Structure 1
Amino acid sequence: MWHGDIHDVRQLGPTGRFFKFAELFVTLGIMPSELTPQSGTVRAQARKDKAVISTGVAAGQDRSRMDKEVVKAVLASPLTIPWPNIPRHLQTTVMSSLIQLVPHSVAEYHVSRARCQKREKRARRADKRSAEKREDLAHEDTGEVVQEELKNGEDSHRGEAVGEKRKDPPSTSVIPSIELGPTMGESHSPRPERPQIMNHIVLGINETIKSLERSIDDLKLQLLILTDAINATSRPRPNNLLPTAPRSPSPPLTSSPEPDTLASSSEQSPLVFILIPLQSISPQTLVSPIPQYCATYNSLIYQYMQLARVASARLKENAWSALPVEEVRVVPMGRTEAELAAMVGLRRLACFGLRASHPSIAVLHGLLPKSILHPPRHSITLPFPTSGLQVHTDGPVAHHSVAAIKTQPASTNSKPETITSRPERAIPLPHIHYAPIQIKGITTKAPLDGTARKQTRLEEVRRRRIEVKERKRKEMEETKRRWEKRLKLRKNSGHGKSRKVPKAGEKGVVNGEMSKVKARSGKEQGSGQSEQGGIA
């Protein structure tokens, strides 16, 4: 029966063989699910590990020498600011909406400016070549004039020698001026005017970092001014620490701060969005400082908002004015560097920033609210998730059900009628952005059986100790045997001869052990002499 079944299976194709074996296993009472366990479960992985262990033990391997892969939790750096994660469809939507933020005049301006720069460069080269030609022609004319003067001088010397006098003075030659016509630099077209929208965008890594540094410095200055104003209203406290530098005078409370420091013009308005084609940049360490700068700026904004609350409670309205500050956010994109560069008319573009003064900045605010794209912050300024933390938002809350009970006369036995209104849909607000987990897992190897590994290690240490002790004992015995042999030779040779002291570098004698063996041999020699005296 089995031979016939196997012969029939050989004649079938792959699909027929599968069904034939399945029918055979069902006939034998074996389910197909029991044959091949699911490889994606923990139980299946444990089975694989056990199979590997049993295979290794069966092959003669020592269980204490075998290792297994484990995931170990280690502490990560809390100063690292991770890149935010944005879905692919949002990245595509943001790229399509940038047409509203960057008009075509920006690309035309950059292309025209590049053409003008090339034209001016060619004109400068042409001017340089024409100047070199003028110098060469001038040198040639000067050489001809010098030769004529030398020739005229020789003729005059000859005439004076003969006795003839020259009546006409030598004529001075004038170098003719060479006119090469107008150069290309005189007929070039003027540079294009810079569009006004360029005051609201920032292009390039260096310009973005400069803008962030300028915003951080301005915000620090405002923090100092606001802190001095708040401290001026409180009672003076003794300063335990001496200042290392003279303090700047605080502005009077009656006068408002200077308008040039608070007025945020289009050039000095801070950034609110920074778009980076992260997947197109290699290496990515070129733009890694940008999240750090953004986190520092956002931390200062948090401090400024806290001080503004204190100032609103302590200071008068005309004593200070709050700044319209907003946190800056980083928008990591995919491989979109070519599209961004073509949009602004440049060859390459690794960073694209938008200021708060941009007239169409509300487009990105609608696409990327803070509930979807969190501003980068340092971990020390973020709360840690706890069970007792309550979330409060000032937006519309979605009520699950609103019941309105209508009272009816007592004579009727009908139950009160409940009307449930449709719940209101709340806007997704940024409830709380928690601190990221500062623990990361690394894959490493650990002993398969820790107890067996420890026992093996102890046995190895004990065996090595025994070997060392045995080697030292043999060395001592060999040294003692040599000294006894030398003592016998001295006794046989006589007492009148000088003793031969072995050198410390002889073979088989250790410096530290030689003194011990010598003292021991001296004691034995003294005891031997006393015994000989007693016998005599």
Structure 2
Amino acid sequence: MPPAATLPGGQTIRQQTKAKDRASADRNVVKAVLSNPLAVPWPSLPNHLQTSVLAALPQIIPPEVSDYHVSRARCSRAVKVRRKKEKHGKETTVAIEEPPAKPASLDHLVLGLNETIKALEHGIDDLRLRMMVMTDALEGVTQTPATTRLLPTAPPAQPEAETEASAAAEPTTPASPLAFVLVPHLSVSPMALIEPLPTYCATYNTLLRQHAQLAKAVRSRVPRPDRYIRPEGPEMRVVPLGAREAEIAATVGLRRVAAFAVRASHPALDVLERLLPQSILVPPRHSITLPFPTTTLRVHDGDAAAAPKPKTAAPLPPINYSALHIKAVHTTAPLDTNGRKAKRMAEVRTKRIQKRDHRRKEREVQERAFGKELKGRKGKPGARAERIAAKKAQVMDVDA
């Protein structure tokens, strides 16, 4: 049997083919990744409970809400048509109806994704500000955040001039906090639009628990604690409703409703509480808590034993750590890393040589075309002498 043919590198053709296949092959690997402790997953709600909540929506959103939105859209459309005809100088016979009166039940509802996010942010900011006032009261700060700067870079508060209008204006009652946030999460695309909603609710619920701890300390240490403590609302809960946006929009009377919320002051809130008790739908919370907010900045220089401790210092929040979750990410990796690198370098060199050859050929083509153009401009070598001889012959004929 003849010996196998070898290549200049000392390998046989079969060995080199196996090496190429190994450099191109991948292997399946599993990488361990720590999950984000601040990420809040969507709660799991059975399908029959979603159907029950959808069937109870007419009690939460009465029919006058749908009639109000439909009538308002019709009036707005009529106004636009009339303005367009008047702009072009045409006679119009469109009758403009009076806008419908806003139903009272809309004061207990927040419709739309943007409005829901605004209400969540306002509730979180209001709760954080209340906690800041309570912490300052425990620290002995007599000023309120309305007369001092919350941040060192904030401009100083200026006293507003009292006018007759401001004196006659009645103080507005704060809006009731949200109790339920209902989202048809499978109907929204992309999902990134509604991903912050569980995180907002978890942040509010975590601050609400810290507010309860601060309230106990304020009642026991601060005189007249009713000035700082306000009644607490219920914990927010997220209700996923699957792909049921069309039914919700028809109930509300709008084209699309990506999310809506029900306030704690809603008269029919007990309907949702009976369907979704906290044992079935648990309010989301963060496992990690932050220090209590305060307007006073304290510098710790390390000498804590020598520093006098204030008598009315704010209590430290309990230290809670989130559970460790390790996620497995299934991916691929090169079977032969060195072979893959050598193959990639060889491909880079080959492409570099091809580009250099291509540039050289293009340059040669351009040089040939330029040379032909120059030769065409100069003409034949003896053309100039023939033209001179012809002119001399013409001159001699004229003289003769």
Instruction: Provide TM-score, normalisation by structure 1.
Output: 0.45
Among 210, 213, 237, the residue aligned to 1:306: 213
Evaluate the alpha carbon distance shift between residue 343 and residue 313 of structure 1 in structure 2; reply closer, same or farther with a 3 A threshold.
same
Whether 1:99 and 2:58 are equivalent positions in the alignment is yes
- Mapped to 2, the partners of 1:361 and 1:319 lie a distance apart of 29
1:202 shift after superposition: 0.9
- Mapped to 1, the partners of 2:99 and 2:240 lie a distance apart of 34
Which residue of 1 is the match for residue 256 of structure 2? 348
Which residue of 1 is the match for residue 195 of structure 2? 288
Question: 1:50-89: per-residue Cα shift (whole Å, max 9, x none)?
Answer: xxxxxxxxxx989x99976453321122232221111111
Which residue of 1 is the match for residue 67 of structure 2? 108
For 1:349, the aligned partner's letter is V
Question: 1:147-202: per-residue Cα shift (whole Å, max 9, x none)?
Answer: xxxxxxxxxxxxxxxxxxxxxxxxxxxxxxxxx7xx546x4221111100011111
Alignment check: 8 A CA contact 2:130 2:228 kept: no
For 2:270, the aligned partner's letter is A
- Mapped to 2, the partners of 1:303 and 1:248 lie a distance apart of 28
1:110 shift after superposition: 0.8
Which residue of 2 is the match for residue 379 of structure 1? 287
Which residue of 1 is the match for residue 79 of structure 2? 120
Unaligned runs of 5+ in 2: 1-16, 143-150, 159-169, 291-319, 343-400
Which residue of 1 is the match for residue 185 of structure 2? 278
Whether 1:443 and 2:350 are equivalent positions in the alignment is no
Alignment check: 8 A CA contact 1:126 1:184 kept: no
- Mapped to 2, the partners of 1:437 and 1:118 lie a distance apart of 56
Alignment check: 8 A CA contact 2:187 2:244 kept: yes
Q: Percent identity, aligned pairs only?
A: 49
Question: 1:480-524: per-residue Cα shift (whole Å, max 9, x none)?
Answer: xxxxxxxxxxxxxxxxxxxxxxxxxxxxxxxxxxxxxxxxxxxxx
Alignment check: 8 A CA contact 1:86 1:332 kept: yes
Whether 1:190 and 2:98 are equivalent positions in the alignment is yes
SS in 1 for 2:56: helix
For 2:215, the aligned partner's letter is A
After alignment, is 201-210 or 287-296 more displaced?
A: 287-296
- Mapped to 1, the partners of 2:321 and 2:274 lie a distance apart of 23
1:353 shift after superposition: 0.9
For 2:219, the aligned partner's letter is S
For 1:111, the aligned partner's letter is V
Evaluate the alpha carbon distance shift between residue 435 and residue 343 of structure 1 in structure 2; reply closer, same or farther with a 3 A threshold.
farther
SS in 2 for 1:381: coil
Alignment check: 8 A CA contact 1:233 1:314 kept: no
- Mapped to 2, the partners of 1:209 and 1:354 lie a distance apart of 13
Alignment check: 8 A CA contact 2:180 2:236 kept: yes
- Mapped to 2, the partners of 1:283 and 1:245 lie a distance apart of 37
Which residue of 1 is the match for residue 35 of structure 2? 76
- Mapped to 1, the partners of 2:26 and 2:112 lie a distance apart of 50
Alignment check: 8 A CA contact 2:215 2:229 kept: no
Q: Equivalent residues in 2 for 1:419-458 (5 A)?
A: 435=322, 437-445=324-332
- Mapped to 1, the partners of 2:154 and 2:252 lie a distance apart of 46
- Mapped to 2, the partners of 1:296 and 1:197 lie a distance apart of 27
Among 181, 199, 208, the residue aligned to 2:116: 208
Alignment check: 8 A CA contact 2:66 2:251 kept: yes
- Mapped to 2, the partners of 1:368 and 1:375 lie a distance apart of 11
- Mapped to 2, the partners of 1:310 and 1:127 lie a distance apart of 66
- Mapped to 2, the partners of 1:299 and 1:231 lie a distance apart of 22
SS in 2 for 1:189: coil
- Mapped to 2, the partners of 1:91 and 1:434 lie a distance apart of 33
1:445 shift after superposition: 4.8
Which residue of 1 is the match for residue 364 of structure 2? none
- Mapped to 2, the partners of 1:230 and 1:248 lie a distance apart of 23
Alignment check: 8 A CA contact 1:308 1:322 kept: no
- Mapped to 1, the partners of 2:117 and 2:227 lie a distance apart of 33
Which residue of 1 is the match for residue 393 of structure 2? none
Evaluate the alpha carbon distance shift between residue 296 and residue 247 of structure 1 in structure 2; reply closer, same or farther with a 3 A threshold.
farther
Evaluate the alpha carbon distance shift between residue 314 and residue 283 of structure 1 in structure 2; reply closer, same or farther with a 3 A threshold.
same
- Mapped to 2, the partners of 1:226 and 1:248 lie a distance apart of 20
Alignment check: 8 A CA contact 2:133 2:228 kept: no
- Mapped to 2, the partners of 1:85 and 1:370 lie a distance apart of 13
**Structure label with greater radius of gyration:** 1
Question: 1:426-459: per-residue Cα shift (whole Å, max 9, x none)?
Answer: xxxxxxx9946532111135799xxxx89xx8xx
Which residue of 2 is the match for residue 22 of structure 1? none
Instruction: Provide TM-score, normalisation by structure 2.
Output: 0.60
Evaluate the alpha carbon distance shift between residue 298 and residue 127 of structure 1 in structure 2; reply closer, same or farther with a 3 A threshold.
same
- Mapped to 2, the partners of 1:276 and 1:206 lie a distance apart of 12
Alignment check: 8 A CA contact 1:272 1:355 kept: yes
For 1:102, the aligned partner's letter is I
CA RMSD of aligned residues (A): 3.6
Alignment check: 8 A CA contact 2:134 2:229 kept: no
Which residue of 1 is the match for residue 134 of structure 2? 226
For 2:59, the aligned partner's letter is Q
Higher share of residues assigned helix? 1
Unaligned runs of 5+ in 1: 1-59, 134-179, 235-241, 250-258, 383-432, 462-536
Whether 1:357 and 2:265 are equivalent positions in the alignment is yes
For 2:200, the aligned partner's letter is Y
Alignment check: 8 A CA contact 2:180 2:239 kept: yes
